[in-house]
Amino acid sequence: MENSEVIPTNDHGNVLVVDDDSEIRLLITKFLQRHGYHVYSSADARSVLETLKKFTIDAIILDVMLPGTTGIDACRQIRRTSPVPVILLTARSEEDIRVSGLEGGADDYITKPFSPRELLARLRSVLRRARNGSVKTSSLAQGNILFDGWTLDTLRRELTTPEGVLIDLSTGEYNLLVAFLEHANRVLSREMLMELAKTRTADPFDRTIDVQISRLRRKLETSETAGLIIKTVRGAGYIFVPKVTFG
């Protein structure tokens, strides 16, 4: 354990960074400190649990490829004692690792080489979710969400039609759909949807919520079900109509 000196700058939160590359550890630490976080860092996963006991940690950024205990095992161990949000750092093309990471209780993952701003956005998002006590991604991640014969696999981020055909969704559309599914049968205003759906993305090119909704509708609805799945509530926003089950 090589705790870097904690520089209390602001109280955005305490973040533990676990990565075996000392340069990256240092750079992430500096970057996050600049953005107002307390940062603890560690080169391996062994002492994570100790750190969790000693200090108040609000979020963990955990590299998957660690010497000794892998990030995923570490994530499972953390989950046994603590609900602290975990963001996994993975290499590209490691779909299996991502899925098992989410199954192991991670809240989100980000792919190396990542853009620091993207990391910051994800971090803010998991922290906000944890504070709001809203439905955690990890609890969503435990299984599938079913509606109207459709299935949304939140581990793989895959949407399948009642016939079993995979429907491709953009990140924005996926986030929007998750927001709708978590708040089915409730009227959601544009502002609420924007807040709920942008949680995972920092894409500056995201279109307005209306464009996103019309795109999502186009993918979900057929000529028979047009307007029946996501209904427009005039002057109020939108409502997701079908019965949603988490299974």
Partner 1 sequence: MKSGRFSWLPDTIVVRAVLILVGALIAMSLVGYWVYRVGAEGLATNARDRGLAERIVSIKRAISAIPDEVERDKAAHALATASLEVHWSKVSLVLNNAPVTERSRAMEDRLKELVPEFGTESFRVGYADDGALNAGEGDAYRHMLLVSVKLDDNTWLNFASPTFGTAHHLAGNILAIAAIMGSLIILVAVLLLRWVTRPLRNLAIAAERFSLDEAGDPVAEIGPAEVRRAAKAFNTMGDRVRRLVSERTMALAAVSHDLRTPITRLRLRSEMLDDEQTRNLIDDDLSEMELMINSTLEYLSMGVANEPPKVFDVSTMIRTIVDGEADHGHSISLDDMDHASVLGRPVAMKRAVWNIIGNALKYGSKVVVRIKREGAQVRVEVLDNGPGIPIDEIEKVFEPFYRVENSRSRQTGGTGLGLTIARSIITEHGGSLSLKNHALGGLIASIELPIFPFSKTSRPLTGTDTALATRLQPPNAH
Residues 6+ apart with CB under 8 A from 107: 85, 86, 87, 126, 129, 136, 137, 138
Token output for 74: 């570490």
Identify which of 65, 122, 119 has the alpha carbon closest to the alpha carbon of residue 90.
65
In the complex with partner 1, which residue's Cβ is closer, 28 or 74? 28
In the complex with partner 1, which residue's Cβ is closer, 166 or 228? 166
Site residues for partner 1 per CB under 8 A = 21, 23-24, 27-28, 30-31, 34, 91-93, 95-96, 112-117, 161, 163-170, 173, 205-207, 215, 218-219
Quote the least distance from Cβ 235 to partner 1, whole Å.
Answer: 27
Q: At what angle do helices 209-220 and 171-182 cross, to 10 degrees?
A: 80
Quote the least distance from Cβ 27 to partner 1, whole Å.
Answer: 4
In the complex with partner 1, which residue's Cβ is closer, 113 or 247? 113
Quote the least distance from Cβ 170 to partner 1, whole Å.
Answer: 5
Contact 42, 48 (CB under 8 A): yes
Quote the least distance from Cβ 41 to partner 1, whole Å.
Answer: 13
In the complex with partner 1, which residue's Cβ is closer, 84 or 159? 159
Beta bridge partners of 18: 42, 62
Tokens 């807040």 sit at which residue? Answer: 195
Quote the least distance from Cβ 19 to partner 1, whole Å.
Answer: 9
Give CA–CA dist 119/38, Å, rounded.
15
In the complex with partner 1, which residue's Cβ is closer, 52 or 169? 169
**H/E/C letters for each residue in 1-25?**
CCCCCCCCCCCCCEEEEECCCHHHH
